[in-house]
């Protein structure tokens, strides 16, 4: 499981989307990024569809997830 508290591009507030992790300053869930990428969208399309999200945020979230996955496969 990814520890999103260490990623500066995201935030969580119990009063915002039920406490889901969202991109900083938005109501866009981080999960939306991964769902859209899974379904074939590009990062550029995601940014177009969710204008409040900035490219650095997407890059930070993706990098954070890669680090988490790498750490979990290398004890």
The whole-number pLDDT of residue 74 equals 61
Question: What is the number of structural domains in the chain?
Answer: 1
Q: Which H, E and C letters describe 1-62, residue by residue?
A: CCCHHHCCCEECCCCCHHHCCEECCCCCEHHHHHHHHHCCCCHHHHHHHCCCCCHHHHHHHH
Range of the domain at 38: 4-72
CA dist 43 and 65 (Å) reads 15
Instruction: Specify the CATH number for the domain of residue 24.
Output: 1.10.10.10
- Name 10's bridge partners: 23
Over the chain (75 residues), what is each successive 10-residue block's mean pLDDT? 88 93 96 98 98 98 92 66
Q: What angle do CA 22, 27, 32 make, to 5 degrees?
A: 60
């Amino acid at each position: 499981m990814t520890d999103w508290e260490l990623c500066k591009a995201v935030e969580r507030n119990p009063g915002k989307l039920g406490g889901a992790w969202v991109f900083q300053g938005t109501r866009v869930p981080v999960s939306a990024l991964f769902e859209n990428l899974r379904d074939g969208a590009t990062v550029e399309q995601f940014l177009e569809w969710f204008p409040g999200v900035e490219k650095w945020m997407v890059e930070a979230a993706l990098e954070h997830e890669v680090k988490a996955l790498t750490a979990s496969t290398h004890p």
